[in-house]
A and B are shown apart, each in its own frame.
Chain A
Amino acid sequence: MRRCSLTLVVCAAAAVVMMGTGAHAQTNAEVNAAIQFNFSTPGARSLGLGGAFVGLADDATAAFTNPAGLTALSKMEVSFEARQWEYTNTYTWGGRSFGEPNPDYEIDTAGITTGEASDSTTGLSFLSFVYPREKWAIAVYRHELANFETRFRTQGAYFDAFDDLGDGYQEYTFRFYPVDAFLELDIVNYGTSAAFRLGDNFNLGVGVSYYDFQLDSTTNRYGMWNADFPEDPGGFWGVPDYSASNVLNYQEQTGDDTDVAFNLGFLWKLGEKFSLGGVYRQGPSFSYNTRNVAGPAAANPGEEFAAAEAEFNVPDVYGLGFAIRATDAFTVAFDYSHVKYSSLTDNIVNIFSEPAEYPDQDEAADRLTVDDADELHLGLEYVFVNAKYPVALRFGSWYDPDHRVRFDGDPGEGREARALATSFREGDDELHYSAGIGFIFGETFQLDAAADFSDNINTLSLSGVVRF
């Protein structure tokens, strides 16, 4: 086996590889892989119940979760919620994915090293008004579907792969360019829902949402030079040089778009104690622009290598829920949701080069995939009904299958496929645990708080309801 030496030719080749390795989601920029959607249902009560609310749908948050439930209300309601999300994003920081480490360099270690970045956002996540009548109800609401930001740096992992860099098809050692990336994503839903009572026990709901989408992301890639002293900072075997003048190229993703989508739901009361609900929520689709531009460390700063328009497809959701009102004090809810995450990898755009310019890159990107998720939610609520001010305790849990974008199958020995297999790795299924408390002050005001914990996302919520 021939191990490549640190030459300008090899570094240049490696640079090309790295430009093609960040492929994810709607574009192949690795920063997109960390995006978290807030598909949990709005309201602290619902959060405390582990998001199991489709079959219950008996407060103002049903406007989004299952509009059919709005007919349960008999008084006008205003509700509001503030949430804080704490995200822990994992990414390929360094190490080595393919081949044996070079013992001459400390930085080249066996196995992939995973990095973790923690970020948090806070926002007014839900605001609604419900106007109920005898056989129908309408609601208007604002809901933050996504409020996400992340920032992280990578060191650049090593891997061996075969390629023809001008001196025949042979094996080289490649290194990912170190990156410094950030991404901010906001999707706000301005919706209106209507519910209709069809007979004594069956309710139907329909909603239309106007979604406002904002995306801002930049990923800087830093050069690796210093051929004479490759172990020094900024060298091929050295720690990265993150200085602004060392940006070799950067990728931008910017979007400001809107879309309209609808949702449908039903709620069927099966006697006094049981109810069955179902919902379909269409995911909106947005357009945004991508660019790959040469940085100050490149020979031709400012040159635009590629520009394209990409689509951001929010997954559709299908939900089915069952609720049991065992007594006036005790309620159980169970939801099943199918989330069409696979739409995230429909029509991936190569942010790094023009179409067909590097067929190997395009081919490897086509092998990025994400599985649909089948979520299970369970929630329990107990209310101390006869306290001076009734207090509600809630507990929940939900199963969140892995839905990371990942490279599908055996990458073989080629560099593009191995590069993607290094950056796009499977995640783990997660189990969320939630707990909440609610204070009911007469019939006009209610205050709820809840927290949902998992390995990668913690959510805190505070919400209130005013009836009049």
Chain B
Amino acid sequence: MPRRSLALLLLLAVAAVASADYRESYRNAIDAIEKKKDWATASSYLQAAIAENPAEGGRVKLYGTRYKEYTPHVYLGLAYFNLGDCAGALREWQTAASQGVANMSEVEGFRVQCQASARPTPAPRATATPKPAVTPTAVAQASPTQTPAVSDAAALLEAIRRAENELGKAETAEGMVTRLRADRTLADAWAREAQLVRDLDDASRSLERARAKLRSGKTGQSLVDVDEAIRLATEARAKLEAIPQRLETARTGLEQRPTPTLPGATPTWPLPSPTPRGPTPTPLPASGVKVPAALLSAAQAFLGGDYQGTIDLLADENFAERRVSAVAHLLRAAARYVLYRSTGSADEALHRDAEADVRSSKRLDSTVVPDPEAFSPSFIEFFDRTR
């Protein structure tokens, strides 16, 4: 009889299971902060939590009986601050304050620092200046005598953020072009335009130098070095993003010649081949698959940084082939996500549309996933997270 009573209680309890929500994202964000101080990961999770529930308030269970106030804007501001984005931090804290978050004492000091950095810069007074709060990579390594004034530090942090952002975009483009370089079907086009190879090599070298300058800029807190890193990365990115269009022009020129040795009369995949990461990947069409012109144009727009153009080009397209359609949704999701992030994660509609695209892509062909060499880590994480 006791066993029967226990079983009955268990059944009653199981029946009470409810649905999941934004809480898991918030839990993951706090976990990333407390265990790793991984502000970038925390930022992604917090944005996801805010997308589902932007209203601060209530408590979220972390583990056991440990509960935390649901204040995602406060923590997102903290993440931005630690990533060197004072403007973003102030914006999030303002949002939190406007929602009536009572206890912001945890970030009050940081908020004051950010506000100070936004004012006209007084002459640096190293001995009287509080140490700025910190990105793990930048100021943490500084000796006390090197500590810059708040405004200097803020400028440096902002420059580092820009440099990392520019480097990330350039590296994405480099990955894309590298894949095109390896595509056998484009070998003739590469051979015809030897300058393309030289540009690729030049861009790669510039990127390497940009990375080195950024490292030295962080270590020595040198704004000059960081600015140089930005310049080099921008230059490399421009060269890299021009290559696909020039390559396409070269390939099209080859097509128009009546040479029977060319690989085909229709474009082959200039897009990064989706890399299957699932347990049973479907072999992808590495070559010889006909790519609709609209998708090709959209991909080129994406590579060229024209994200709105990418979205517009794919707006009315309806591809018959499921796999092609899945890639189109993936591309449009990436474009929308970049726009969402670049506008300060404020446009919730854009975020929802990006999620819808990801879901559509997965539904159409679950083996189509973003290639880490072609898409940013944050988008890949967004893609993985979206169900």
A interface residues, Cβ below 8 angstroms from B = 45, 58-59, 72-75, 132-134, 272-273, 324-330, 332, 334, 376, 378, 380-381, 383, 385-386, 390, 392, 397-399, 429, 431, 438, 440, 443, 446, 467
Contacts and interface: CB of A to CB of B under 8 A. Distances in A.
Contact of A133 (B30, B35, B59, B63): B35
Contacts of B62: 74
B35 A383 contact: no
A59 B18 contact: no
Question: Which 5 pairs across A and B sit closest by C-beta, in order of nearness?
Answer: A332-B13, A59-B64, A328-B61, A74-B34, A58-B64
Contacts of A385: 58-59, 61, 67
Given A58-B63, A385-B67, A446-B65, A378 B10 contact: yes
A324 B15 CA distance: 10
Contact of B23 (A73, A134, A328, A330): A328
Given A380-B13, A397-B6, A45 B65 contact: yes
A386 B59 contact: yes
Given A326-B18, A386-B59, 4 more contacts: A75-B34, A133-B35, A134-B36, A383-B61
A326 B17 contact: yes
Contact of A399 (B2, B61, B67): B2
B14 interface: yes
A134 B32 CA distance: 8
Interface in B21-49: 23-24, 30-31, 34-36
Contacts of B58: 385-386
Nearest to A439: B65
A59 B65 contact: yes
Nearest to A431: B2
Interface residues of B, number: 30
B31 A74 contact: yes
Contacts of A72: 63-64
Nearest to A396: B9
Nearest to B17: A326
Nearest to A59: B64
Contact of B6 (A45, A75, A327, A399): A399
B65 A273 contact: no
B16 interface: yes
B60 interface: yes
Contact of A327 (B14, B18, B24, B68): B18
B5 interface: yes
A440 B65 contact: yes
Which of B20, B23, B60, B64 lies at the interface centre, i.e. has the most chain A CB atoms within 10 A of its CB?
B64
16 contacts: A45-B65, A58-B64, A59-B63, A75-B66, A132-B35, A134-B36, A273-B17, A332-B13, A332-B14, A378-B9, A378-B10, A380-B9, A380-B13, A399-B2, A431-B2, A431-B5
Interface of B: 2-3, 5-6, 9-10, 13-14, 16-18, 20, 23-24, 30-31, 34-36, 58-68
Contacts of B18: 326-327
B233 to A, nearest CB: 30
B35 A330 contact: no
Nearest to A61: B64
Contacts of B2: 397, 399, 429, 431
B30 A74 contact: yes
Contacts of A386: 58-59
A233 B59 CA distance: 71
A467 B66 contact: yes
B18 to A, nearest CB: 5
Given A72-B64, A326-B18, A332-B14, A390 B59 contact: yes
Contacts of A376: 3, 6
Nearest to A56: B64
Given A75-B34, A328-B23, A385-B59, A378 B65 contact: no
A273 B20 CA distance: 8
B35 A74 contact: yes
Contacts of B31: 74
Nearest to A448: B65
B34 A392 contact: no
A119 to B, nearest CB: 26
B20 A324 contact: no
Contacts of A429: 2
Which of B3, B9, B60 lies at the interface centre, i.e. has the most chain A CB atoms within 10 A of its CB?
B9
Nearest to B38: A134
Contact of A324 (B17, B34, B66, B67): B17
Given A74-B31, A74-B35, A385-B58, A332 B24 contact: no
Contacts of A328: 23, 59-61, 67
Contacts of B17: 273, 324, 326
A392 B59 CA distance: 14
Given A132-B35, A327-B18, A443-B68, A73 B63 contact: yes
A66 to B, nearest CB: 13
Contacts of B64: 45, 58-59, 72-73
Contacts of A378: 6, 9-10, 13
Contacts of A390: 59, 65, 67
Contacts of B20: 272-273
A340 B290 CA distance: 68
